[in-house]
Chain A
Amino acid sequence: MADGVAAVDDPIRKPPLVQGENDFASVTDIVCQVSETPKPPKAWYVTFAAALGLLGALGASIVYLISTGVGVWGNNQPVAWGWPIVNFVFWVGIGHAGTLISAVLFLFRQTWRTAINRFSEAMTIFAVICAGMFPAIHVGRIWVIYWVFPIPNQMEMWPNFRSPLLWDVFAVGTYFTVSLLFWYMGMVPDLATLRDRATSRVRRMMYGVFSLGWTGSNRHWHRYERAYLLLAALATPLVLSVHSVVSFDFAVSQLPGWHTTIFPPYFVAGAIFSGFAMVLSLAIPARELWGLKDLITTRHIELMCKVILATGMMVGYAYSTEFFVAWYSGNRYEGFAFINRAFGPYWWAYTLMVSCNVLVPQIFWFKKMRTNMWVVFIAAALVNVGMWFERFVIVVSSLNRDFLPSSWHYFTPTAIDLLTFLGSFGLFLTLFLLFCRYLPQVAIAEIKGVMPQAHAGHGGSAATASDSPSGQVPPEGVK
Chain B
Amino acid sequence: MTSSRVYGVLASFTSVEGIIEAAKAVKEAGLTKWDCHTPFPVHGLDKAMGVKMTKLPWIVLGCGLSGLALAIWLQWWTNAVDYPFIISGKPLWSIPANVPIMFELTVLFSALSTFFGMWMLNRLPRWYHPLFSVPSFRRATSDRFFIVVEADDPAYQAPEIKALFEAQGAATVEVVEETITNTDWPPKIKFAAWAAAGLLMLPPAFVVKAKFSTSETPRLHLVPDMDHQPKFKAQAASSLFADGRAMRMPIDGTVARGELVANEALHTGFLGGEYVTEFPLPVDEFLMERGRERFNIYCTACHGVSGLGDGMVNKRAQEIVSPLWVPPLSLHAETVISQPPGQLFQTISKGVRNMPGYAQQIPVRDRWAIVLYLKALQRSQSGSLDDVPLQLRNTIR
Contacts and interface: CB of A to CB of B under 8 A. Distances in A.
Given A158-B82, A174-B107, A226 B37 contact: no
Interface string A120-164: 000000000000000000000101100000100011111111111
A238 B37 CA distance: 33
Interface stretch (A47-55, A211-219, A342-350, A397-405): A211-219
Interface residues of B, number: 76
A461 B18 CA distance: 11
Which of B87, B108, B146, B223 has most chain A Cβ within 10 Å? Answer: B108
A218 B36 contact: yes
B213 to A, nearest CB: 14
Question: Which secondary structure dominates where chain B touches chain A?
Answer: helix
B42 A28 contact: no
Interface residues of A, number: 86
Which of B132, B142, B171 has most chain A Cβ within 10 Å? Answer: B142
B160 to A, nearest CB: 22
Nearest to B43: A5
Interface string A206-239: 0011001111111111111111001100110110
Interface in B37-61: 37-46, 49, 51, 54, 56-57, 60
Interface stretch (A11-19, A58-66, A411-419, A448-456): A448-456
B104 A455 contact: no
Contacts of A219: 35, 49, 51, 122
A5 B38 CA distance: 16
B41 A1 contact: yes
A391 interface: no
A177 B42 CA distance: 29
Interface string A437-453: 00000001110110001
Nearest to A208: B127
A204 to B, nearest CB: 10
B16 A238 contact: no
Interface string B12-45: 0011111010000000000000011111111111
A267 interface: no
A177 B111 contact: yes
Given A196-B142, A197-B142, A224-B122, A455 B16 contact: yes
A455 B75 CA distance: 50
Nearest to B100: A167
Contacts of B14: 462, 465-467
A2 B46 contact: yes
Given A144-B225, A209-B127, A218-B42, A193 B37 contact: no
A221 B38 contact: yes
Interface stretch (B133-141, B258-266, B355-363, B373-381): B133-141
Interface of B: 14-18, 20, 35-46, 49, 51, 54, 56-57, 60, 74-75, 78-79, 82-83, 85, 87, 90, 97-98, 100-101, 103-105, 107-108, 110-112, 114-115, 117-119, 121-122, 124-129, 131-132, 135-136, 138-143, 146, 171, 219-223, 225
Given A154-B222, A234-B111, 8 more contacts: A178-B107, A193-B39, A208-B127, A222-B41, A224-B41, A231-B111, A445-B40, A465-B15
